[in-house]
């Protein structure tokens, strides 16, 4: 087990190195850099001024030198300066992480707490009206784009309550504080909950047909015990896998949700940074996301062993 973990950690480092190279190269392949954009915003191009600015930002250096400077800085904890705000990249990124983490955590919580129980109910009540209704709900969740759902929620909120839960760094009441995170989490978590519901349902249906479930029922176990103790425990592995993948993919859903609800999180900041070709911000943020994804995968793999005694990682 220990050797497996070490091997996985080494593999994680290799993966992150590969990602760092890909991010770095891709960013430079995309036409236009921050200097082009700054001059585009100023509506003119002055070659001498451009050259000065490229020199000031270190963009005149060979690409390998730029890469080594970035990696070297990162290892020293120096993420460089944002080209746009001219503030340390770390100062720009750090305050946004808790905001996005809170939102993503709530969305995942919503996804699991709604998706798993409803998936179980849908499977247990297969073929009933309730099952059909829940399947329609889950299909809606998968079909509705989160930006559209977000806008609908905002419009309904304005029409019904005369206010809207867009981000406010200093909420006046606890209900406002709750709303500014829970409502966007609901919008983004709805799709994820729908997916979890569908996976739980199909996994449960497969397990419920197994012989040991019949045996449990024959032994007089209650329906609740059969469904949640015997069936769900065995059906949960694919669900955990999906939730792990969703955690990684959530960032995509958060981009639009953060935009619609005007949440100053990491996802929206990343889009803006890409638009401005703010390399220090984009590189470091994508690396951060890569670390989160790699760690999420690692955690899911470790959870397999904890949840299913049949799974053992051998050296």
Partner 1 sequence: MRSVHALAATVLSLLAISEIAHAGEKQGGIFRIYHRDSPGSASIHEEATYSTNVPFMPVFNNLVIYKQDVAQNSLDSIVPDLAESWSWSGDKKTLSFKLRQGVKWHDGKPFTSADVKCTFDMLMGKSQQKFRKNPRKSWYDEVADVTTSGDFEVAFNLKRPQPALLALLASGYTPIYSCHVSPAQMRTHPIGTGPFKFVEFKANESIKLVRNPDYWKKGFPHLDGIEFTIIANRSTAILGFVSGKFDMTFPTEVSIPLLKDVKNQAPNAVCVVEPNNVSTNIIVNSSSPPFDSLDIRRALALALDRKAFVNILFEGQADIGGTMLPAPAGLWAMPKEMLETIPGYGPDVNANREEARKLMQKAGYGPDKHLAVKVSTRNIPIYRDPAVILIDQLKSIYIDADLDVVETANWFSKVARKDYALGLNLTGNAVDDPDQSFYENYSCKSERNYTNYCNAEIEKMFDVQSQETDVEKRKKLVWEIDKKIQEDVARPIILHSRTGTCWHPYVKGVTVMVNSSYNGYRYEDVWLDK
Q: Which residues bind partner 1 (CB under 8 A)?
A: 31-33, 36-46, 49, 52-53, 56, 82, 84-87, 92, 151, 154-155, 157-158, 162-164, 166, 169, 259-262, 264, 268-269, 272, 276-277
Residues 6+ apart with CB under 8 A from 68: none
Task: Give the shortest CB-273-to-partner 1 separation in angstroms.
Answer: 9
Task: Give the shortest CB-47-to-partner 1 separation in angstroms.
Answer: 9
Task: Give the shortest CB-277-to-partner 1 separation in angstroms.
Answer: 6
Task: Give the shortest CB-70-to-partner 1 separation in angstroms.
Answer: 21
CB nearer partner 1, residue 127 or residue 162: 162
Task: Give the shortest CB-9-to-partner 1 separation in angstroms.
Answer: 35
Task: Give the shortest CB-39-to-partner 1 separation in angstroms.
Answer: 6
Contact assessment for residue 123 and residue 201, using Cβ atoms and an 8 Å cutoff: yes
End-to-end CA distance of the chain: give it in Å, rounded.
6
Query: Taking the mean position of all CA atoms in its chain, how far away is CA 147?
Result: 15
CB nearer partner 1, residue 56 or residue 307: 56
Tokens of 297: 């995968």
CB nearer partner 1, residue 43 or residue 220: 43
CB nearer partner 1, residue 66 or residue 157: 157
CB nearer partner 1, residue 169 or residue 309: 169
Query: Taking the mean position of all CA atoms in its chain, how far away is CA 130?
Result: 31
Task: Give the shortest CB-167-to-partner 1 separation in angstroms.
Answer: 9
CB nearer partner 1, residue 164 or residue 245: 164
What is the Cα–Cα distance from 130 to 68, expressed in whole angstroms? Answer: 59
CB nearer partner 1, residue 225 or residue 272: 272
Task: Give the shortest CB-270-to-partner 1 separation in angstroms.
Answer: 10
Task: Give the shortest CB-157-to-partner 1 separation in angstroms.
Answer: 8
Tokens of 177: 């504080």
Bridge partners of 88, per DSSP, are 81
CB nearer partner 1, residue 151 or residue 303: 151
CB nearer partner 1, residue 186 or residue 236: 186
Contact assessment for residue 195 and residue 141, using Cβ atoms and an 8 Å cutoff: yes
Question: How far from 202 is each of 32, 144, 305, CA to CA, in Å?
Answer: 47, 21, 22
């Amino acid at each position: 087990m220990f050797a497996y973990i070490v091997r996985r950690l080494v593999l994680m480092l290799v993966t992150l190195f590969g990602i760092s190279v890909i991010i770095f190269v891709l960013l430079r392949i995309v036409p236009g850099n921050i200097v082009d954009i700054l001059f585009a915003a100023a509506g003119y191009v002055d070659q001498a001024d451009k050259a000065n600015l490229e020199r000031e930002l270190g963009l005149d250096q060979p690409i390998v030198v730029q890469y080594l400077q970035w990696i070297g800085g990162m290892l020293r904890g120096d993420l460089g300066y944002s080209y746009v705000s001219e503030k340390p990249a770390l100062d720009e990124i750090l305050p946004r992480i808790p905001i996005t983490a809170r939102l993503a955590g709530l969305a995942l919580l919503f996804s699991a707490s709604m998706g798993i129980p409803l998936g179980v109910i849908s499977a247990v009540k297969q073929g009933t009206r309730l099952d059909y209704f829940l399947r329609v709900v889950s299909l809606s969740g998968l079909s509705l784009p989160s930006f559209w759902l977000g806008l609908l929620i905002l419009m309904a909120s304005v029409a019904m309550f005369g206010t809207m839960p867009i981000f406010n760094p200093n909420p006046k009441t606890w209900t406002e504080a709750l709303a500014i995170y829970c409502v966007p989490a609901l919008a983004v978590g709805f799709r994820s909950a729908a997916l979890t519901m569908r996976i739980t349902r199909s996994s449960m249906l497969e397990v419920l047909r197994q012989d040991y479930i019949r045996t449990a029922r024959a032994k007089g176990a209650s329906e609740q015990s059969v469904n949640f103790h015997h069936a769900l425990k065995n059906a949960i592995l694919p669900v955990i896998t999906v939730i792990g993948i969703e955690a990684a993919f959530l960032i995509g859903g958060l981009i639009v949700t953060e935009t619609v609800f005007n949440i100053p999180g990491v996802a929206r900041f990343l889009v803006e940074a890409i638009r401005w070709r703010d390399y220090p911000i984009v590189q470091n943020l994508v690396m951060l996301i890569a670390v989160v994804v790699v760690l999420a995968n690692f955690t899911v793999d470790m959870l397999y062993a904890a949840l299913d005694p049949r799974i053992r990682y051998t050296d």
